[in-house]
Amino acid sequence: MYRFRDPHGRVIYVGKAKNLRSRLNSYFANPAGLLPKTHAMVHAASSVEWTVVGSELESLQLEYTWIKEFKPRFNVMFRDDKSYPYLAVTMGEKYPRVQVLRGERKKGTRYFGPYTAGAIRETLDALLRVFPVRSCSPGVLKRAQASGRPCLLGYIDKCAAPCVGRISPEDHRALAEDLCTFMGGEAKPFVARLEKDMAAAVAELDYERAARIRDDIVALKKVFERNAVVLAEHTDADVFALHEDELEAAVQVFHVRGGRIRGQRGWVVEKVEDSTTPDLVEHLLQQVYGDEAGSPGRLPREVLVPAEPSNAPELTEWLSGLRGARVDIRVPQRGDKAALLSTVRDNAEHALKLHKTRRAGDLTVRSQALQELQEALDLPVALLRIECYDISHVQGTNVVGSMVVVEDGLPKKSDYRKFSVTGAAATDDTAAMHDVLTRRFRHYLQDKTAPADTSDAPSPAPAEGAAGTAPAADTTTPAPRSKFAYPPNLVVVDGGKPQVNAAARALAELGIDDVYVVGLAKRLEEVWLPDSDFPVILPRASAGLYLLQRIRDEAHRFAISFHRQKRGKAMTVSALDGVPGLGDSKRKALLAQFGSLKSIKAATSAELTEAKGIGPSLAEAIVRHFSPDDGGATAPPVNMATGEILET
What letter would DSSP give residue 97? Answer: B
Higher pLDDT, 506 or 191: 506
| Confidence at residue 393, expressed as pLDDT on a 0 to 100 scale | 80
Of 357, 384, 408, the residue that ends a domain is 357
Are residues 493 and 392 both part of a single domain? yes
Domain containing residue 550: CATH number: 3.30.420.340
Domain containing residue 20: CATH number: 3.40.1440.10
- Report residue 223's pLDDT band, with 50, 70 and 90 as the boundaries: low
| R_g (Cα) of the chain, nearest Å | 36
- Report residue 464's pLDDT band, with 50, 70 and 90 as the boundaries: very low
Residue 136 backbone phi and psi in degrees, to 5: -80, 165
- Are the C-beta atoms of residues 391 and 401 closer than 8 Å to each other? yes
Comparing CA positions, the residue from 185, 190, 135, 184 lying closest to residue 160 is 135
- Report residue 524's pLDDT band, with 50, 70 and 90 as the boundaries: confident
Q: Once rounded to an integer, what is the mean pLDDT over residues 499-527? A: 86
pLDDT digits (tens, 9 = 90+) for 237-268: 889 998 887 667 888 888 887 777 666 677 87
β-strands 385-394, 490-494: how paired? Answer: parallel
pLDDT digits (tens, 9 = 90+) for 14-25: 888 878 888 888
Residue 47 lies in a domain: yes
Are residues 385 and 491 both part of a single domain? yes
Higher pLDDT, 648 or 506: 506
- Does 647 score more than 60 pLDDT? no
| Confidence at residue 111, expressed as pLDDT on a 0 to 100 scale | 82
pLDDT digits (tens, 9 = 90+) for 369-413: 888 888 888 888 888 888 999 888 877 677 888 999 988 788 888
d(CA 417, CA 437): 12
Residue 224 lies in a domain: no
Domain containing residue 645: CATH number: 1.10.150.20
Are residues 532 and 398 both part of a single domain? yes
- Does 486 score more than 70 pLDDT? yes
Residue 466 lies in a domain: no
Which residue range is the domain that position 119 belongs to?
86-185
d(CA 196, CA 187): 15
Residue 196 lies in a domain: no
d(CA 627, CA 630): 6
Residue 215 lies in a domain: no
Mean pLDDT (the chain, rounded) = 77
Are residues 390 and 505 both part of a single domain? yes
H/E element holding 391?
strand 385-394
Higher pLDDT, 372 or 500: 500
Are residues 439 and 346 both part of a single domain? no
Of 39, 70, 101, the residue that ends a domain is 70
pLDDT digits (tens, 9 = 90+) for 286-306: 878 876 554 555 688 899 999
Of 21, 37, 70, the residue that ends a domain is 70
| Confidence at residue 589, expressed as pLDDT on a 0 to 100 scale | 84
Backbone region of residue 411 per phi and psi (left: phi > 0; alpha: psi in -120 to 50; beta: other values): beta
Q: Once rounded to an integer, what is the mean pLDDT over residues 190-208? A: 85
Residue positions counted in the chain: 648
- Does 312 score more than 50 pLDDT? yes
Q: Name the burial class of residue 633, with classes exposed (0-12), middle (13-18) and buried (19+) by CB atoms within 10 angstroms of its CB.
A: exposed
Are residues 561 and 439 both part of a single domain? yes
pLDDT digits (tens, 9 = 90+) for 128-140: 878 889 988 888 9
Are residues 140 and 41 both part of a single domain? no
Residue 374 lies in a domain: yes
Are residues 327 and 375 both part of a single domain? no
d(CA 242, CA 348): 6
Are residues 633 and 620 both part of a single domain? yes
Residue 280 lies in a domain: yes
Domain containing residue 241: CATH number: 3.30.420
How many domains, the chain? 5
Residue 156 lies in a domain: yes
d(CA 436, CA 555): 13
Are residues 554 and 588 both part of a single domain? no
| Confidence at residue 331, expressed as pLDDT on a 0 to 100 scale | 92
Are residues 124 and 177 both part of a single domain? yes
- Does 608 score more than 80 pLDDT? yes
Pinpoint the alpha helices (H) of 574-615: 584-594, 597-602, 605-608
Are residues 275 and 383 both part of a single domain? no
